[in-house]
Amino acid sequence: MAIVLQDQNGVAYLCLQENIRIPGTRQTGIKAVVNKGNSVQVVTIDSQTVERMYLQPVKCGVVEVANLLLHPTGNGVTVSNVAQRELAQCIKEEVEMAKKATAEVAAVVKTEKANKFTKVTAAEPAATHKGKVGEAQTMEDLKGNALYSTKVVTTGLGKEARAGSLWAVAHEQALKPITLGDLITNVTEKVVLKSEKDKETVVRIRLRDGFTRLGYLKAA
């Protein structure tokens, strides 16, 4: 199962395999896909280098990261053929696992209803991707996702941010409880970003991290 790792500089690595044998050595390591600045490549990193880079798992959607790597927005960034194949396969597997999990939950719910047990509402797995494989997710795709349905409120950290900046706008929009999904939509409409990447994707990733890791938002 793929996981997302991040180094001490904030660079994301989509780890495809762990504990693999590094060719020509006695060491083990990981196989991962990473954007090296001018190209997206599949790399192998030995365990010592993994520790030296302080690669740590982060709470981030595998499909979302895979799509960003498969469709880089920087000028002149290319995706190697090997990386394209690995990313497409990774997305396919994640989507299939999400569908299987949804089907299993639905089967349990159906059985419990038939036996007159307590009703259960099945939450859609976070990795479910409703668009075509290879397409970036949008908030429309993520409707019903438990994380983005969570009501959040500002912690006040964005209060001192530069006027008009993402965190300042997020602080203003989250003075009262609002679902994370609606907050992302509101901020996307109001904020102006210099990034060349898809605006909604950038806002979604940063606000999600602001809630799950950075402390700008908290559950209401």
Mean pLDDT calculated for residue range 136-158: 79
Residue ranges making up the domain that contains 34: 3-82
Burial zone of 203 (CB within 10 Å; 0-12 exposed, 13-18 middle, 19+ buried): buried
pLDDT at 15 over 50: yes
Q: What is the pTM of this model?
A: 0.48
Does some domain include residue 107?
A: no
Domain tally, the chain: 2
Give just the sign of the alpha carbon dihedral 58, 81, 197, 179: negative
Does some domain include residue 125?
A: no
Q: How do residues 176-212 score in pLDDT, each as one tens digit?
A: 999 998 999 999 999 888 777 788 888 888 888 888 8
Mean pLDDT calculated for residue range 119-145: 51
Same domain, 145 and 216: yes
| CA–CA dist 207, 122 (Å, integer) | 25
Strand 3-6 relative to strand 56-57: parallel, antiparallel, unpaired?
A: antiparallel
Same domain, 78 and 144: no
CA angle 92–43–207, rounded 5-degree value = 60
